A and B are shown apart, each in its own frame.
Chain A
Amino acid sequence: DIQMTQSPSTLSASVGDRVTITCRASQSISSWLAWYQQKPGQAPDLLIYKASNLESGVPSRFSGSGSGTEFTLTISSLQPDDFATYFCQQYHSYPHTFGQGTKLDIQ
């Protein structure tokens, strides 16, 4: 299986900050990576697919980049609604695997 490792596990930030979350794959996955946001008690919401494509309806302050084994999710200016947990997922090969998550909380 392809292992996905996110860093950091927890991130404290303030409204208006620019934040970056990193996801590393144990082998090359080309651009076959998605990012999700999950709030407590809710299902994850898709933010980004194919590493850098913004899902319809997702604010433009979210962006994704990377290819191969290293990827980043950037939020350009944090809003109160963005404090949540973020997961990456590779879909290069089965089984599709997720990172362990990054919890973004208010500093």
Chain B
Amino acid sequence: QVQLLESGPGLIKPSETLSLTCTVSGGSVSNYYWSWIRQPAGKGLEWIGRIFIRGSTNYNPSLKGRVTMSVDTSKNQFSLRLSSVTAADTAVYYCARGTSGWDVFGGQGTLVTVSS
């Protein structure tokens, strides 16, 4: 069973770039799509985007070009970068394994707080 572990800074300042990594165990990062999804406290889920090993990506236009995703096959990891963060980007960030369409969450998520 594929398991995922999100990692990254818990606190980041406004205007900085958020960087998160998801480490994959129990499977190869080369075999699937990989997604990032976030959830502000007490609110619903927002799909951030998805990447496939061949480099194709789909990002949520609501994030206005601030998102970049990448895959590191040597480390069996994939990453999220979100630039110019504001308080509105404060959320629990989840990584997930993408399938033919739906997402399978495999980690516990990581809380990112944007505050000066």
Q: Report A's interface with B, CB cutoff 8 A.
A: 1, 32, 34, 36, 42-46, 49-50, 87, 89, 91-92, 94-101
Interchain Cβ contacts within 8 Å, total number: 60
Q: How far does the alpha carbon of A101 sit from the alpha carbon of B105 in the complex, in Å?
A: 17
Chain B interface extent, by class: 20 to 34
Q: Is the CB of B44 within 8 A of A99?
A: yes
Q: Is the CB of B102 within 8 A of A49?
A: yes
Contact of B58 among A34, A36, A94, A97 (CB under 8 A): A94
Interface of A, helix, strand, loop or mixed by DSSP: loop
At the interface, yes or no: B116 with Cβ under 8 Å from chain A? Answer: no
Q: How far does the alpha carbon of A46 sit from the alpha carbon of B99 in the complex, in Å?
A: 12
Q: Is the CB of B44 within 8 A of A44?
A: no
Q: Is the CB of B44 within 8 A of A43?
A: no
Q: How far does the alpha carbon of A32 sit from the alpha carbon of B99 in the complex, in Å?
A: 12
Given contacts A34-B102, A91-B102, whether A42 and B45 have CB atoms under 8 Å apart is no
Contact of B47 among A43, A49, A98 (CB under 8 A): A98
